[in-house]
Chain A
Amino acid sequence: MPRTPQDYDDIPGTFVFDAERSREGYGINMFCMSLMKEANRKAFKADEPEYLKRFPLTAEQREAILERDYNRMLELGGNIYFTAKLGATDGHSFQHLAAVMTGATQEDYAKMMLAGGRSVEGNRSKSGRDKPKAKTRSKARSRRG
């Protein structure tokens, strides 16, 4: 079943962890949560595909985990606070993960942050419906809720 379209799908480079993704990604997130325990981290590292059998995952979700495709994990219902635990299990800093997700080297990503971060200009909207808050518009939006 295709995902229900949402207004926030228009935000570029963003997979909003909503109720639908939360349902679909339950297995991914429970797997990541299990990595909080040392014994589980060891079992996972010893045989990753075998360990993943303990969790309800689709073939796509398993593949995304095994390939450490972090954006795909988010798209398939993983949440960043959970997938970060997989990154930590691999011994990576959070900044490393952030760089991976943005397709930058960690060094370039760190430089971007020091220089004030990624600008919102040009990063608001896929469709161009992003003219920032003209007064009448933001009122109309808030009524829609």
Chain B
Amino acid sequence: MANIIAGVASSHVPAIGAAIDNKRTEEPYWKRVFSGFERSKQWMATTKPDVAIVVYNDHASAFSVELIPTFALGCAAEFPPADEGWGPRPVPVVKGHPALASHIAQSVILDEFDLTIVNKMEVDHGLTVPLNLLFGSPREWPCRVIPLAVNVVMYPPPTGHRCYMLGRAIRKAVESYPEDLKVVMFGTGGMSHQISGPRAGLINSKFDKAFLDNLSKDPAKLTRIPHLEYMREAGAEGIEMVMWLIMRGALDAKVEEVYRFYTVPASNTAVGHIILENRGRTAGKRAGARKGGGERRRQAAARRGGERIASKARR
């Protein structure tokens, strides 16, 4: 059976990609950013996942305003890097996992998440920058990648709660896949930043740090943050952080925080990064399952209450 063993969150600032591509990573400004990912690369090299499901957003590369899917799952065998106006990034072609991806689609659509299926798509910095940060710059990416593109460009993006629940549905789908696969889930984007309008340049470290704390310890609390609060507190584009909740929803209620890094700025953005491992993996299966079961039941009950409220308020 396939298993989600860990979740990784990371900003996907385009300038980080440019710094890699232009070999500027040793400059003091960029070294401050990249040094924060050294331990993460070691962790990834030891963890050796078979598949990474990468939740990200497209930035007017694969999707213009002609088509704005809320959740688009990449089921193709390959995803070439997109030309974002300066030629495609010199990174390897992303190899997909069509069999697992289509299995996920089948499962989560029946669980009432109406995904868009994408069989041909180019991927931009939103997906490739986090891969660089965690895998470095190899000739080939060391694992298969399933892209999950989320609309966070046009308001409204999906709610944090919806994202979290999609993460849970994805986990259920992965765990019903027969092949033994180690899967790591990526949530990308954020943290606080605003790059548009007279308020551009906004950073809110206090909000970011509380978000990281809760992502680790109390994700349910994060699912209640309304969009208005993200935009007000973390900047109009900071709302990207809802994508981290898809990753978090795919993990246990209780996780082990393995590593965290935060720095300001990279270009116009606060950079946040966290690695969370599913505890069941280290604490032993039975204890994990027993604990997890009760916790899951309790949460499911709370969620049912929450959903009723949400569906009333949102019609």
Q: Please report the total number of B residues contacting A with Cβ < 8 Å.
A: 50
**Sample of 16 further A-B pairs with CB below 8 A, known A124-B232, A138-B226:** A8-B231, A11-B228, A14-B194, A16-B236, A18-B156, A19-B154, A33-B60, A33-B64, A79-B60, A82-B65, A85-B85, A116-B265, A123-B199, A142-B224, A143-B309, A145-B159
Which of these, A15, A22, A35, A82, contacts B197 with CB under 8 Å? A15
Binding site for B on A (CB under 8 A): 7-8, 11-19, 22, 25-26, 29-30, 32-33, 35-36, 71, 74, 79-82, 85, 88, 94-95, 98, 101-103, 109, 112-114, 116-120, 123-125, 130, 132-133, 138-139, 141-145
Which of these, A98, A112, A119, A141, contacts B195 with CB under 8 Å? A98
Contact A36 B231 (CB under 8 A): no
Binding site for A on B (CB under 8 A): 14-15, 59-60, 64-66, 68, 83, 85-86, 153-156, 159, 192, 194-205, 207, 224-229, 231-233, 236-237, 264-265, 267-268, 270, 309-310, 313-314
**Nearest residue, chain A, Cβ from B233:** A120
Q: How many residue pairs at the A-B interface have CB separations less than 8 Å?
A: 161
- Most B-side CB within 10 Å, residue of A11, A71, A79, A88: A11
**Nearest residue, chain A, Cβ from B68:** A22
Which of these, B14, B66, B154, B309, contacts A17 with CB under 8 Å? B154
- Chain A, interface SS category: helix
Interfacial chain B residues near A19, Cβ < 8 Å: 154-156
Contact B201 A29 (CB under 8 A): no
- Chain B, interface SS category: loop
Q: List 8 A-B contacts (CB under 8 A).
A: A13-B199, A14-B231, A81-B59, A94-B267, A95-B267, A117-B265, A123-B199, A138-B229
A120 and B155 alpha carbons, distance in the complex (Å): 21
B81 to chain A, nearest CB (A): 14
Contact B198 A103 (CB under 8 A): yes
Contact B155 A16 (CB under 8 A): yes
